[in-house]
Structure formats: C-alpha cells, structure tokens
Amino acid sequence: MIASMEDWASMGTGESGPMYHMTFGGLSFEGPMGEAMDNMGPFASFLINIGKNIQD
C-alpha cells in the first residue's frame, strides 16, 4: 500500500479510514482488489491502534 505521510497520519486517527482514502485518493495498492477489500476492517483497526500508540 502506498500513501503520503499525511494520509497515514489521518488514517491513524480514525477520522477517515482506508476506504475513504482509497475512494478519494491518497491510498493506492498493488495486487488483487478483492483481497484488499477483505482485509480493510482489520487493517483499519491496526492503523488506529498504531496511531493511538504513537500519539500517546
């Protein structure tokens, strides 16, 4: 997955998740789209968990 630092930071706050950034730009990926979609929920949770730990 490819995103700018600002997009990663935004996804880490939980305000806008990976689906938002994939839809409106800012997050792209290489590989099968179906697999990426299947993993969006766990990936969003992971980003929020990391984001909260970094901000503390």
| Angle (deg, nearest 10), helices 40-55 and 5-13 | 90
pLDDT band at 55 (very low <50, low <70, confident <90, very high): low
Distance CA 45, CA 53 (A): 12
Determine the structural domain holding residue 26 and report its residue range.
2-55
Q: pLDDT (tens digit, 9 = 90+) per residue, 38-48? A: 888 888 888 88
Q: pLDDT (tens digit, 9 = 90+) per residue, 11-34? A: 888 888 888 888 888 888 888 988
How many separate domains does the chain show?
A: 1
How confident is the model at residue 37, as a pLDDT? 83
Q: Report yes or no on whether pTM surpasses 0.75.
A: no
Distance CA 22, CA 35 (A): 14
Query: How many angstroms separate the Cα of 22 from the Cα of each of 43, 47, 54, 55, 56?
Result: 13, 14, 23, 24, 27
